[in-house]
Amino acid sequence: MRISILTIAFSALLLADSLAVEPSEILDDPRHESRARELSKALRCVVCQNQSIDDSDAALARDMRILVRERITAGDSNEEVLDYVVLRYGDFVLLKPPFKKTTLVLWLGPILMFGMALLGALLFFRRQKSATSLMKCDPSAELDETERKRLNALLGGQKK
Amino acid sequence: MTAELGLFALTLAFAVALVQSTFPIIGATKNYISWITLAGPTAITQFVLVALAFGCLTKLYITSDFSVLNVVQNSNTSMPLLYKVSGVWGNHEGSLLLWVLILALYGAAVALFGQNLPPALRARVLSVQAMIAIGFYLFILLTSNPFERVFPPPPDGRELNPLLQDPGLAFHPPMLYMGYVGFSMAFSFAIAALVEGRVDAAWARWVRPWTLAAWCFLTGGIVLGSWWAYYELGWGGWWFWDPVENASFMPWLAGTALLHSCTVVEKRDALKSWTILLAIITFSLSLLGTFLVRSGVLTSVHAFATDPERGVFILALLIVVIGGSLSLFAWRGPQLKTTGLFQPISREGALLFNNLCMTTATATVLLGTLYPLFVDAVGGDKVSVGPPFFNSVFIPLMIPMIFAMAIGPLLNWKRGDLFGALGRLKLVGISSLIVTGATWAWHNDGPVFATLALGLSAWLGLGTLVELAGRIKLFVPGAGSWARVCRLTRASWGMTLGHMGLAISIAGMAGAGGWTQESIQTMKPGDTIKLSGYDFTFKGVHQRKGANFTSAVGTFVVHKNGIYVTNLSAEKRNYPVGKMQTTEAAIHTTLGGDLYAVIGDHDGNDGAYVTRLYFNPLVVWMWIGAIVMVLGGVLSLSDRRYRIGAPRQSRHGHAKELEAKSMI
């Protein structure tokens, strides 16, 4: 089972601690079992908070785990199993939300933001280039008399 | 009496904060010396008062004073002393008190050790600190009073959540808060600079140590939490992309970006307004993290709407702080003049690229964390955003950044030679390809990402070594490498260790994420299970009694090729007061991987138990890498230049500058 550190640190969420996949659920064919584990990690336990059915000890998660294994044993491909589960529980069970209208912002957001950041950097360099010719650099002009004295005192203090 | 004294001290601290937030900052503008000098004493007084309040609450916990509601809800006479003390911050009210305590501590530190700051800047910084504190004092006094009495007092308390009764987690919140709240220093300096209208190298030198200290604490706090999850939750997971984890990860990402952009301000007098903005963003994310965790909004938008008192207060605070500071930035930011110019391919350019990736990553985590809430709030379908989403977006963002991390330090300031740098990394590139290929040949059953990550880890680690070797001229005969090693500044060691630490951690994450082996079964005493070449023999279960729990202890003897390796004792604890069970995994750590055993439920009558055995490769590298990173931060923090706080060009930096000038 899994609980996030801070949830309990802050809201003292009470959860009994027993562990997820039980030996009786495990399939005989190790290839089937490893596919079941992989799929379980991508499916949300719908009565839990942000837990996959692979980590959850809720009764419903157990039922879903068994359902996934049944479909695999029946010869479904991974996609078919997911489609089957989604048909019953809705998109909400997918921890990786499908790409559709309501998740457009979610999926395109990161790409858009990276693009905007790149564009921002590009504009920054362009503006800097045009500013170079106009600007006269004179860093010392920023310090007034008292500051310069203070700076000198500090610098002098460090030289032995 | 103690509870009333605590509340009185807290109220007084609030009053002092009111003075501290107004007089010094006005005095700094009007140049009233006496008002400016008020900043130091008020900050120290405020700290003393909050410390008194915190001390009172701690005393109530240690003496188990069950006439105080907070103690009743989170403590019990049978708990060990350590957890009575950590119970103080293991709850909503107490953790907020810890928040203001740390805020006041940072303020007092500026007052005591910031003697070389210009008095006006110091006054402004401390005033801004007090403004933040006022928000939190009001929050505590109006909605979350930890000193509330209860009548009649019950004979005993309800106990701290057993999962929190753990040495690792006892210190997790204080570390995390030292980090969160530490970024308030960067924020206060940023606001002070905006008010003053000036940012220069000296400013960056004053901000950097505070940011660095906060970063070290936050890194430590996150790692402590992750480590706890690893050994306590019973199946070896260490990061779940859970909203509350993300709440601490976002300030970390933004804070890391801030550290890097501060360097550019300090050395090159460029990226000033960007750095100010980053400082504001970083602290805003710390506040947002507090809001997310504290308001109950994560559990459900509807739960938040039905009991909105606390949530609305934090939301209002958030809007005032973030909105106010961003408005100030929009108004005063454009006036900050930059003198340092640089080409895209340069050290500054590389640091900017780091900032680009880090902020996009931060925004991505923010988007993923808030998206379900957002969709729910506008009444759309329910959406789940879980680990598979974050992994598939976050990891691709990190790959170019880590790739660039090996190149950046090899570039010169102002204008760098990309092909020269790549040329120096030729051997590193070949080595990391060999690492990737060898991993693939040895274990092609893991995810592709893990294989690539090992290659990237080698690239970054070796690349960092090449940079270090170049700086000390290791392969130049007669260059006096040893003397050069001694002359390296601690800040530069900080960079080397920071990058090295990340490389080591990446290897750990790849190993644990890619090749964990697991075996779940029912075992009778005497049964042996083979896993990753180790033979685990189950020796049965015996009962043990702890201070406030009973425990079933399952013992395994582990052999490898017939040679004894270790004994593993995994526990399943039962806490009668809290009516909860916890697992205590048994872990045997080696450099190659952790042997990890967990005991489950009783199965049948012949002493059989459900057991879970794991081999988690390279996990310890993750913790070692994190320690190296923090060590780098601490070393850099101890650099003499920052302690003096005076702008002084190091000899090394000066030489670089001349070199760069001669190239133009």
pLDDT in tens, B407-417: 999 998 988 88
- B382: closest CA among B392, B391, B372? B372
CA B315 to chain centre: 23
> Cβ A118–B356 below 8 Å, yes or no?
yes
> Cβ A96–B388 below 8 Å, yes or no?
yes
Closest by Cβ to B600, choosing from A7, A19, A42: A19
Angle at which helices B172-196 and B119-143 cross, to 10°: 130
Q: For residue A11, give both structure tokens.
A: 């809201």
Residue to substitute from A1, A3, A4, interface B, most B β-carbons within 10 A? A4
Task: Name the region of B31 (left: φ>0; alpha: ψ -120 to 50; beta: rest).
Answer: left
Contact A86/B at CB under 8 A: no
Q: Are B52 and B138 in contact (CB under 8 A)?
A: no
pLDDT, averaged across chain B: 89
Q: How far apart are alpha carbons B327 and B323 in whole angstroms? A: 6
DSSP annotation of B436: H
Q: What was the pLDDT predicted at B344?
A: 86
Set of chain A residues whose Cβ sits within 8 Å of the Cβ of B366: none
Q: How far apart are alpha carbons B288 and B293 in whole angstroms? A: 9
Q: What was the pLDDT predicted at B297?
A: 73
Q: For residue B287, give both structure tokens.
A: 């506040």
Q: Are B31 and B5 in contact (CB under 8 A)?
A: no
Closest by Cβ to B600, choosing from A18, A135, A139: A18
User: Does B209 have pLDDT greater than 50?
Assistant: yes
Q: How far apart are alpha carbons A44 and A27 in whole angstroms? A: 21
SS3 B573: strand
Q: Are B645 and B200 in contact (CB under 8 A)?
A: no
CA A159 to chain centre: 51
Please report, for residues B109, B236, B527, B555, B594, the alpha-carbon distance to residue B568 in angstroms, rounded to integers and kept in the order given: 46, 15, 15, 6, 12
Q: What was the pLDDT predicted at B648?
A: 41
Point out the least confidently predicted range of B9-23, B81-95, B278-292, B293-307.
B293-307
What band does B333 get if pLDDT is binned at 50, 70 and 90? confident
> Cβ B384–A42 below 8 Å, yes or no?
no
Q: How far apart are alpha carbons B14 and B30 in whole angstroms? A: 25
Q: How many CB atoms lie within 10 A of CB B103?
A: 26
Closest by Cβ to B234, choosing from A19, A142, A158: A19
Set of chain B residues whose Cβ sits within 8 Å of the Cβ of A137: 339
Q: What was the pLDDT predicted at B113?
A: 87
Highest mean pLDDT among B137-141, B271-275, B298-302, B471-475: B137-141
Q: For residue A58, give both structure tokens.
A: 């809720």
Contact A130/B at CB under 8 A: no
Q: How far apart are alpha carbons A102 and B59 in whole angstroms? A: 52
Q: How far apart are alpha carbons B652 and B267 in whole angstroms? A: 11
Closest by Cβ to B240, choosing from A2, A105, A114: A2
What band does A13 get if pLDDT is binned at 50, 70 and 90? very low
| Mean pLDDT confidence for B645-653 | 42
Q: Are B571 and B584 in contact (CB under 8 A)?
A: yes
| Mean pLDDT confidence for A90-114 | 90
Residue to substitute from A2, A4, A5, A132, interface B, most B β-carbons within 10 A? A5
> Cβ A125–B344 below 8 Å, yes or no?
yes
Q: What was the pLDDT predicted at B293?
A: 79
> Cβ A6–B245 below 8 Å, yes or no?
yes
Please report, for residues B8, B486, B608, the alpha-carbon distance to residue B483 in angstroms, rounded to integers and kept in the order given: 58, 5, 64
SS3 B342: coil
Q: What was the pLDDT predicted at A8?
A: 40
User: Does B399 have pLDDT greater than 50?
Assistant: yes
SS3 B63: coil
* pLDDT higher at B314 or B279: B279
> Cβ B371–A106 below 8 Å, yes or no?
yes
End-to-end CA distance of chain A: 62
Q: Are B506 and B451 in contact (CB under 8 A)?
A: no
Chain A nearest-CA residue for B360: A114
Q: For residue B431, give both structure tokens.
A: 């080595």
Q: How far apart are alpha carbons A53 and A59 in whole angstroms? A: 10
Q: How far apart are alpha carbons B24 and B40 in whole angstroms? A: 9
Q: How far is A73 from chain B (nearest CA, A)?
A: 20
Q: Are A45 and A56 in contact (CB under 8 A)?
A: yes
Summarised one tens digit per residue, pLDDT across range B539-577 is 999 999 988 899 999 999 999 999 999 999 999 999 988
- Find the helix or strand (DSSP H, E) in which B612 lies: strand B609-617
Q: How far is B389 from chain A (nearest CA, A)?
A: 5
SS3 B88: coil
Angle at which helices A59-73 and A78-89 cross, to 10°: 140
- Find the helix or strand (DSSP H, E) in which B555 lies: strand B550-560
Chain B nearest-CA residue for A14: B161
> Cβ B520–A22 below 8 Å, yes or no?
yes
Chain A nearest-CA residue for B174: A9
User: Does B342 have pLDDT greater than 70?
Assistant: yes
Summarised one tens digit per residue, pLDDT across range B95-115 is 999 999 999 999 999 999 888
Q: What was the pLDDT predicted at B165?
A: 87
- Find the helix or strand (DSSP H, E) in which B549 lies: none
Q: What was the pLDDT predicted at B548?
A: 87
Contact A141/B at CB under 8 A: no
Q: What was the pLDDT predicted at A12?
A: 32
> Cβ B244–A1 below 8 Å, yes or no?
no
User: Does B299 have pLDDT greater than 50?
Assistant: yes
Whether a cis peptide bond, with omega within 30° of 0, leads into B525 is no
Q: Residue B341: which residues within 8 A CB-CB, separation 6 or more?
A: A128, A131, A132, B270, B414
| Mean pLDDT confidence for B179-203 | 92
User: Does B651 have pLDDT greater than 80?
Assistant: no
Q: How far apart are alpha carbons B487 and B505 in whole angstroms? A: 28
Summarised one tens digit per residue, pLDDT across range A110-137 is 999 999 999 999 998 888 877 665 544 4
Q: What was the pLDDT predicted at B645?
A: 45
DSSP annotation of B161: -
CATH 1.10.8.640 positions along chain A are 2-98
Q: What was the pLDDT predicted at B445?
A: 73
Q: What was the pLDDT predicted at B255?
A: 96
User: Does A48 have pLDDT greater than 90?
Assistant: no
Set of chain A residues whose Cβ sits within 8 Å of the Cβ of B612: 19
Q: What was the pLDDT predicted at B662?
A: 37
Please report, for residues A7, B10, B67, B167, B253, the alpha-carbon distance to residue B87 in angstroms, rounded to integers and kept in the order given: 15, 19, 16, 12, 29
Residue to substitute from A1, A6, A132, interface B, most B β-carbons within 10 A? A6
Summarised one tens digit per residue, pLDDT across range B439-494 is 888 877 778 888 999 999 999 999 999 999 988 888 777 777 788 888 888 888 99
Q: Identify any residues that bridge with A43 across adjacent strands, giving them in sequence order.
A: A94
User: Does B278 have pLDDT greater than 90?
Assistant: yes
End-to-end CA distance of chain B: 72
| Mean pLDDT confidence for A104-115 | 92
Closest by Cβ to A137, choosing from B339, B342, B644: B339
User: Does B239 have pLDDT greater than 80?
Assistant: yes
Q: How far apart are alpha carbons B46 and B105 in whole angstroms? A: 9
Helices and strands counted in chain B (H then E)? 25, 9
Q: What was the pLDDT predicted at B359?
A: 95
Closest by Cβ to A121, choosing from B240, B356, B520: B356
Summarised one tens digit per residue, pLDDT across range B524-535 is 999 999 999 999
* pLDDT higher at B266 or A57: B266
Q: What was the pLDDT predicted at B195?
A: 92
Q: Which ranges constitute the DSSP H helices of B114-200?
A: 119-143, 167-170, 172-196
Q: For residue B65, give both structure tokens.
A: 């004073």
What band does B284 get if pLDDT is binned at 50, 70 and 90? very high
Instruction: Decide yes or no: CATH 1.10.8.640 for domain A2-98.
Output: yes
Q: What was the pLDDT predicted at A157?
A: 58
Q: Looking at this predicted complex, what is its ipTM?
A: 0.82
Q: Which ranges constitute the DSSP H helices of B479-522?
A: 481-487, 490-514
User: Does A101 have pLDDT greater than 60?
Assistant: yes
| Mean pLDDT confidence for B216-242 | 89
Q: What was the pLDDT predicted at B389?
A: 93
Q: Identify any residues that bridge with B595 across adjacent strands, giving them in sequence order.
A: B588, B615
